[in-house]
Amino acid sequence: MNLKEMLEAAKSRIAQADSVEELKAAQEEYNKISEQIKLAEQKGAILDGLKPAKETQVEKKETPASLGAFAVKELDTRSLKSARGAVGTGFGFKANTDLHTTPTINVTDTKVVDVQPRPLYVRDLFGSEAISGNSLTYFVLQPTEGKPAKTAEGAKKPQIHVGYDSKTVALEKIASFFKESDELLEDAAFMESAINNRGIYEHNLAVENELVSTLLGTSGIQTVAFKDNAQDTLYTAMTNIQTATGYTADAIVINPADYQTLRLAKDANGQYMGGGFFYGEYGNGSLVQQPGIWGLPTVVTTAVEKGTAIVGAFKIAGSVVTKAGSGLRVEVSNANEDDFITNRVTVRVEERLLLATRVPAAFAKVTLAGAAA
């Protein structure tokens, strides 16, 4: 009989004891066997730790350089071509309903010439988070009522109240799909470039536009009207943010046309205030392409309309929240509509996210209409 069987027998004797003496003896026996089992387990753990470690060979896998490369690496393209209704999944292409055909395997130039993409930086200004649920409830700080003050002995102390408003925002799905000839699957290099240069770019473009639109539509953000000139108006927004929240603005988002007005501004001597087209101001230093306004990182993008700019403490006051474990998904299938009989595949790109603006007053919508530096 092993120790575990002896332990069960002792437990049975406890249940069947007819006197205090029998119960006490059975209990002592049970405790003794339990200690022996614990000792045996500890010895086993020590002996296992003394065994030489087994040598394991770790397969070195090349890390994909981009999301498009990862998607291509994860897709089982051969099974997609041979199996009806197959779906390949990777981890973002041109929208609309038209069919995009590709050359056959007879490739003469491996470089894909594509439309020059717009730099996308707005999302990077915010903090980033992930949640496992379908929505996020967060709290927006309200202005504090009352304030501490010197109080005489025996006098009533002043009361303060720190208020919060709860806000619940659901994850929104941004998605698109496009169709491609299944010869695409035979040319991994083209597929990778198509996903990166068109599919994911178009997706990120939509995300950036959505973030800007959502932020400008958020209740509680400040508004600053144009006065005198663009540079003074932008600085006023920076000051208003710090005055209202204590946070320091960390970025400006501005339309290219409005940035041009500032960038081409000249002083009384005809010198460009931001530096000339070859050198810095008055020939000092080197030329900086798109220098920041008032020393802040400045994103020049058409995501904001001409005549409007955004100043904000982006990193601390707002976050882009995504679905944990999901992220940006790229899926390919030949089972959509008549893909199988027309030798096509459908590529779907989607992501679930939301914008949490925890301190709305840390952002300012600035009007630059009619701006003149």
**What is the CATH classification number for the domain harbouring 205?**
3.90.1690.10
pLDDT tens readout for residues 278-307: 877 777 777 777 889 999 999 999 999 999
Residue 113, in any domain of the structure = no
Residue with tokens 């996903």: 195
Average pLDDT value for the chain: 80
Provide the percentage of residues in the chain whose pLDDT is more than 70: 77
Q: How many domains does the chain have?
A: 2
Which are the contacts of 367, defined by CB distance < 8 A and separation ≥ 6? 223, 224, 225, 226, 233, 307, 308
152 has a pLDDT exceeding 50: yes
Same domain, 22 and 127: no
Is the same domain home to 21 and 169? no
More confident residue, 351 or 81: 351
Specify burial of residue 368 (Cβ count, 10 A radius: 0-12, 13-18, 19+): buried
Read off the amino acid at residue 294. W
**Are 22 and 130 found together in one domain?**
no
Q: Is residue 17 part of a domain?
A: yes
Residue 62 has pLDDT above 70, yes or no: no
Residues 206 and 330 in one domain: yes
167 shares its domain with 272: yes
Q: 78 in a domain, yes or no?
A: no
For residue 42, being part of any structural domain is answered with: no
Residues 27 and 126 in one domain: no
Residues 153-189 as b or e (16 or more Cβ within 10 Å = b):
eeeeeeeeeeeeeebeeebeebebbbbbbbbbbebee
85 inside domain: no
Any domain includes 91: no
Pairing mode of beta strands 329-333, 318-323: unpaired
Q: Is the pLDDT of residue 214 over 60?
A: yes
Task: Judge if pTM exceeds 0.75.
Answer: no
Tokens of 225: 């009207």
232 with 309: CB under 8 angstroms?
A: no
Q: Which pLDDT value is given to residue 28?
A: 84
17 lies in the same domain as 135: no
**pLDDT tens per residue across span 330-369:** 888 888 888 888 888 888 889 999 999 999 999 999 999 7
**Rounded to whole angstroms, how far apart are CA atoms 311 and 316?**
13
CA–CA dist 48, 101 (Å, integer): 61
Q: What's the burial of 13, exposed, middle or buried (CB within 10 Å: 0-12/13-18/19+)?
A: middle
Same domain, 1 and 132: no
Q: Which domain holds residue 1?
A: 1-32
Residue 94 lies in a domain: no
Average pLDDT, stretch 197-215?
Answer: 89
Same domain, 253 and 129: yes
Three-class SS of residue 91?
Answer: coil
| pLDDT in the model for residue 92 | 39
Assigned domain for 305 exists: yes
Say yes or no: 215 and 337 in one domain. Answer: yes
